[in-house]
Chains A and B, each alone.
Chain A
Amino acid sequence: MSEFEPKIIAFLCNWCTYVAADAAGVSRFVQKPNVRAIRVNCSGMVDPSYIVKAFASGADGVLVGGCWPGDCHYISGNIKAMRRAPLLKKLLGEMGVEDLRFRLKWIAASEPSQYAKTINEMTEEIRKLGPFSRKKKSATRSVA
């Protein structure tokens, strides 16, 4: 019973990934119970501060789920999310947050199996990494 259970915060877009998550439950796909879902209107409204705050408040992983490029309900919100992710990943990496802990995934409303697969994979990979601790500093920082 002492096995580490990762806490994953998932910011899910109201129009695609949240519907997929809902459908995954209705379809009775087996899912790990480690995800705390937060419904947002669009993946484009997930400010980097939310993600940083999630890690600072004790999350072990953060998933941002949005519509596939071109499918955004608000036309280009998911493109904004796509622009932010690489730079945020770089900052998180410098602060000792491993690459696998933060993910941006496109999951359409019609892909509940994909949603279940994503969170199952993510939970297992973060379980292997162990809990995220703010004190732990890794040497991933590169100075050019």
Chain B
Amino acid sequence: MSRPEQKKKLAIYTATGCRACEQGILDLNYEVNELGRFADPVFWPYVLGTPWEALSEGKVDVALFAGTIRTEADRQAALKLRESSELLVAVGACAAFGGLPGLANLADATEAKAGETTGSSSADGEGKPTLPRAEPQGLCLSQVVAVDYVVPGCPPTQNLLWAAVLALVCRGESPARLSYAAGRLPEAVAEAIAAGVLPRRGTTFAGEKAVCGSCSRIKEEKKFGICKRPYQEYQETGRCLLEQGLICQGVATQEGCGGICTGVGVPCRGCFGKAPAIFDPGAKMVGAISSTFDSKDAKEIAALVENFVDLAGTFYRYSLPSQCSLLATPDKG
């Protein structure tokens, strides 16, 4: 048992999001007890009901921030946590890239304004709580404040989340713990941790290649003859899902998950954001799918394209506010 003064102070918070990332921390099973030995969760409203005042008692070492910045309250929370913590970590696709709530940015700006007027930031006369005022756009954490580390995923996979928590919270703890963390991270990050230093600021706790790199499916010749959606029946032959006509976004998505979805026949949805070498995930997916259309006839191709629905919502499902190059991104602050 380590002495209380050696414990790292930990803050965990979710802005606009489903809280599956916080649930993910609880889902670390036995390790979550372990977490209590070397970290002191001084601020965790979801689990401990901590009030915001708790943050005023000295600086927090590591703050894990999940969720999209969608309301005025979210922005205040991000600013407050940035101010009061040493390391701010964006956990989950929402905080890292904008996530599903960020898809609201596809709607017309005038619609967002209409929503803005209905909300008010104070409670009304009868003491009923009202919704906080909506921001004009959903944003990822790094579009509002400086972010030190990013742990992507929806929610981040257990291994990765635990490895990241170990690496950042458990600095200077036992070598066994560190090697556990290092084994699950990209080489450069792992080397830094093994050497006892923090990885470079801005590091994303994910792989360097695309999901296809760690996907176990058999890749043969790609011919896209029909567009299927995941609920439609298909033959489980162990072949690449994209080759079978399912929109699998593994080609455009950053590795790190270990291909767990594609391994059980579920097409990749892109929750790790785009791979570093890719300019725009939507354009990459259009290229990956359409250049292998199994037709030379313009009419047939047009008919095939008719089958595709909601391209923007599919290709930028988790990353619209930050990684879609056709959408103007607002300045910080």
Contacts and interface: CB of A to CB of B under 8 A. Distances in A.
Interface of A: 47-49, 51-53, 55-56, 69, 76, 79-80, 82-84, 86-88, 90-92, 94-97, 133-135, 137-139, 141, 143-144
Given A135-B328, A137-B108, A48 B287 contact: yes
Interface in B280-333: 280, 282-284, 286-287, 289-293, 295-296, 298, 301-302, 305, 308-313, 315, 324-328
B280 A97 contact: no
13 contacts: A49-B280, A52-B279, A55-B326, A69-B296, A76-B296, A83-B293, A87-B289, A90-B311, A133-B328, A135-B328, A137-B107, A143-B310, A144-B309
Given A47-B287, A49-B280, A134-B327, 8 more contacts: A49-B283, A49-B287, A53-B280, A56-B280, A83-B291, A92-B326, A95-B324, A137-B107
Nearest to B303: A86
B310 A80 contact: no
B301 A82 contact: yes
B290 A87 contact: yes
Contact of A95 (B291, B301, B312): B312
Contacts of A134: 326-328
Most buried by A among B283, B298, B308: B283
B248 to A, nearest CB: 16
B287 A84 contact: yes
Contact of B308 (A84, A90, A95): A90
Most buried by A among B291, B326, B328: B326
A96 B325 CA distance: 12
Contacts of A86: 290, 301-302, 305
A143 B278 CA distance: 26
B131 interface: no
Nearest to B284: A49
The 4 closest A-B pairs by CB, nearest first: A56-B325, A52-B283, A134-B328, A94-B312
Contacts of B296: 69, 76, 79, 82
A139 B108 contact: yes
A139 B107 CA distance: 8
A137 B280 contact: no
B261 interface: no
A87 B286 contact: yes
A84 to B, nearest CB: 4
Interface residues of B, number: 35
B109 interface: yes
B106 interface: yes
Contacts of B308: 87, 90
Most buried by B among A48, A88, A141, A143: A48
Contacts, number: 99
B295 A83 contact: yes
The dominant DSSP class at the A interface is helix
A55 B282 CA distance: 13
Given A88-B286, A96-B326, A143 B309 contact: yes
Most buried by B among A91, A92, A139: A91
A52 to B, nearest CB: 4
Contacts of B292: 83
Given A91-B312, A139-B108, A53 B290 contact: no
Contact of B311 (A83, A91, A97, A139): A91
Contact of B290 (A51, A83, A133, A135): A83
A53 B286 contact: no
Given A90-B305, A96-B326, A137-B106, A52 B282 contact: yes
A51 B312 contact: no
A56 B326 contact: yes
Nearest to B109: A137
A91 B282 contact: yes
A94 B325 CA distance: 13
Contacts of B305: 86-87, 90
Given A52-B279, A84-B291, A91 B315 contact: yes
Contacts of B315: 91
Given A56-B326, A97-B326, A141-B312, A88 B108 contact: no
Contacts of A51: 283
Contacts of A91: 282-283, 286, 311-312, 315
Contact of A141 (B106, B289, B293, B301): B106
